[in-house]
Amino acid sequence: MSSEIPFCEAARTVLRRPDVAVPAKSCDTHAHVFARHEDYPFTPNRTYTPPEASLEQYLELHRMLGIERGVLVQPSVYGADNSLHLHALRQLREWGHDYRGVCVVAPDISMTELQELHEAGFRGVRMNLLFRGGLQWNDVLGLADRIAALGWHLQFLINVSDCGDIMDRVADLPVPVVFDHMGHMPAALGADEPGFRKLLGLLSDNKAWVKLSGSYRVTLQGEYPYPDVAAIARALVVANADRCVWGSDWPHPHFSGLMPDDTDLLEDLVAWVPDAEIRKRILVSNPARLYGFDD
């Protein structure tokens, strides 16, 4: 492995439960697990090298937070090799847990391979335009019709403030689109930034979903709390609370700042969404619809 590829810090251990209990069947829609490089090799074309973050640690995080469901999202360091998360989802099912996945696939993947992923619990394809190793826009276009047949969605990791051409095409896609990390726009640009306004419009028109996640990635604050993110998060909820979901982004890879506390990240949702019934939709019923959980 090249010494030029930076190593990531490990996630903090969760030491306290949230002050406000989360409702039953709450879902963390964005997290990853990482195995030893010797067992599941990383792609050479990557921007970071993560430490191990095991399935057992992931479940312990959810136990502490009161989370009963989750979505494992394929990270860029594994490219289109979904075998680790495929194995993780099968293991979770054997242990009696109800989890889903979002994969990264090659443009020429067969329907047989897609069906295998579907049976394991995958429900979407991730498009990564920020970090090397993920999908590009041209790769996704040829997949859209096929994944539509499975009821899947596309998940975009993009900065909405500098991807106007993509934002203009989203409404015409034949599948739902989910935006990571509140659109991954620097919070300092504010809710009136043109690309962010396009995201709000897509939400209002039921043309997209958004993850209320990654606040520590878009803030200008050096440490928690992140007050500059609150206006962004609230604007997304006001645009369409029924198209918002929450995610921890554990174990917070490719982040060089002060590692966030996952309990703080969950409690932020209470600050952004003081209405308990709306929070329940964001944590329970919205992800149940998007990821096909059996309620």
249 among known catalytic residues? yes
- Give me the sign of the Cα torsion angle 175, 177, 126, 75: negative
Helices 111-120 and 83-94, packing angle to 10 deg: 40
Name which of 69, 80, 74 is nearest 102 in CA terms.
74
Report the b/e string of 232-243 with b at 16+ CB within 10 A: bbbbbbebbbeb
Name which of 61, 72, 73, 71 is nearest 22 in CA terms.
61
- Among the listed residues 180, 249, 262, 268, the single catalytic one is 249
The answer to whether 130 and 179 are in contact (CB under 8 A) is no
Which token pair is 231? 């206006």
The answer to whether 222 and 257 are in contact (CB under 8 A) is yes
Phi and psi, residue 46, nearest 5°: -140, 165
Helices 83-94 and 55-65, packing angle to 10 deg: 60
Which token pair is 104? 């990264």
Q: What is the DSSP string of 10-21?
A: PPPPP-S--SSP
- How many Cβ atoms from other residues are within 10 Å of residue 192's Cβ? 10
Which amino acid type is present at position 226? Y
Which token pair is 174? 């034949």
Residues that are catalytic: 249
